[in-house]
Amino acid sequence: MRLDVWLNKVCLTKSRSQAKTGCRGGHVLLAGRPVKESHELHGGEIVLLREGDREREVRVLGIPAGNVSRNEARDYYEIVAERSVRPEF
């Protein structure tokens, strides 16, 4: 499944277009490097999301087959780390 679709389905972004914009802007990293929204995501990968003054590292636990509820979405990822960072200028 594409990274932007997965981020949206598991409710880590509000929309797929927000996920695409984050990837294109360098706010979504995979293995410490910016990643395209079209990256084919697999279980076990760790994705870093930067949102304002916050960073979250999440481990992909699974790929949903279809739409999932907000409550079920947490079954598809695990938060590895969450921290506040100083905004870059």
- What domain range includes position 48? 3-84
Q: How many domains does the chain have?
A: 1
With respect to residue 80, please indicate whether it lies within any of the assigned structural domains: yes
State both tokens at 75.
């079954």
Four-CA torsion 2, 37, 20, 9, nearest 10 degrees:
20
pLDDT per residue over 39-80, tens digit each? 999 999 999 999 888 999 999 999 999 899 999 999 999 999
With respect to residue 27, please indicate whether it lies within any of the assigned structural domains: yes
- CATH code of 78's domain: 3.10.290.10
- Model pTM score: 0.89
Distance CA 17, CA 22 (A): 9
In 1-89, at which residue ranges do the beta strands (DSSP E only) sit? 28-30, 33-34, 46-51, 54-60, 77-84
With respect to residue 89, please indicate whether it lies within any of the assigned structural domains: no
What does pLDDT average to over the chain?
93
